[in-house]
Amino acid sequence: MKPASVADYRELARRRLPPMFFEYIDGGSYAEATLRRNVADMEAIALRQRVMRDMSQLDLSVEIFGQKLSMPVGLAPVGMAGMYARRGEVQAARAAAEAGIPFCLSTVSVCSVDEVAAAGTPPWFQLYMLKDRGYMRELLGRAKAAGCRVLVFTVDLPLPGARYRDVRSGFSGATALSGALNTAWQGMTHPGWSWDVYQNGKPHTLGNVQSAVNGGRRVTDFLGWIARNFDRSVTWADLDFVREVWDGPIVIKGVLDPEDARDAVKAGAQGLVVSNHGGRQLDGVRSSISALPAIVDAVGSDLEVFMDGGVRSGLDVLKALALGAKACFLGRAWAYALGAGGQPMVEKMLGTIRSELSTAMVLTGCVSAASADKLLLDVAS
């Protein structure tokens, strides 16, 4: 199949990846109501078509923290991308650099921040609040030394959400023996992935936490360490600790409530991501796109507001910009593309997003992505 949309990349990834890794990308928590809501609420927003305007000159670029982006899109942190394609985070980072947009590296990446930075443009770095503050300090120091300019601090994961698909696929809840046998069997039945990733994509560890886990051999060994180190006691005051080590911009990821957004401003953040973790944490909460306008109203111009969740096209990007987001971060979209065929597919997917955004801007009379506002939306629909 020749992919033409994010849905096509999803299908290609479903065919190529072992079920345990596809379901990890594709699934949400509990009954997945919020996962579906993210997409449905985005689809329900109508754009306002305008005609007979001079649209010969388009400007898709925006500037964020002094960095000019070729379009208002970034690649969100996605865990274990190195299990979707050989050294997957490196491939995705190169695709983002080629497109002129930021790539944000997850704490739970297969490739370490040092490896990704050495391959090209230093990424943004995503971090959780961990009980082991000493190791947090070490990670922040490594990210800074690698040239990372922006820290994305995820705050909506004091504990992992319950993801039923991961249990059914054998990704979680299995014994060491049954897990190894399940991985081996799924690899054998997906030979393309097995050759690319299982045989030639080693080591299969979480590079950023490898030194903290003695004797860890499988990805799940490292995920267990991460899960045990999530800190339920974290408060806004803990940002003081982060600021002691990190002197660059801090973006708070995982905000859905206007009061939390105001607290982020008070805590000294420079940006926030309106996000429900892709529907992977508390099921039943509202969609990211529906939460966005109230948060934008609450914080005004006090910080940069971004959004993720349910973004599947360039049209969706324009809808989010119209509702006040400075840029959108793609999560599943790039993970599907990476799983479908590595860096070339991620580059192709980003080209599709750019083309769709350009078309939407022309047909709504929006000459500049930076100037998008609610006038682009059909409020009567």
Q: Choose the catalytic residue: 10, 165, 277, 280.
A: 277
Which among 303, 293, 304, 256 has a CA at the least distance from the CA of 62?
Answer: 304
Number of Cβ within 10 Å of residue 380's Cβ equals 6
Distances (CA, A) of 8 to 11, 41, 275, 300, 324: 5, 21, 24, 37, 29
Contact between 28 and 162 (Cβ < 8 Å):
no
Structure tokens at 365: 């009379």
Q: What distances in angstroms separate CA 79 from CA 21, 75, 228, 361, one per listed residue?
A: 11, 12, 17, 32
Distance CA 97, CA 94 (A): 5
Nearest alpha carbon to residue 253 among 224, 226, 280, 223: 280
* 277 belongs to the catalytic site: yes
**Dist CA 264 CA 302 (whole Å):** 10
| The two structure tokens encoding residue 64 | 């964020």
* Catalytic residue list: 277
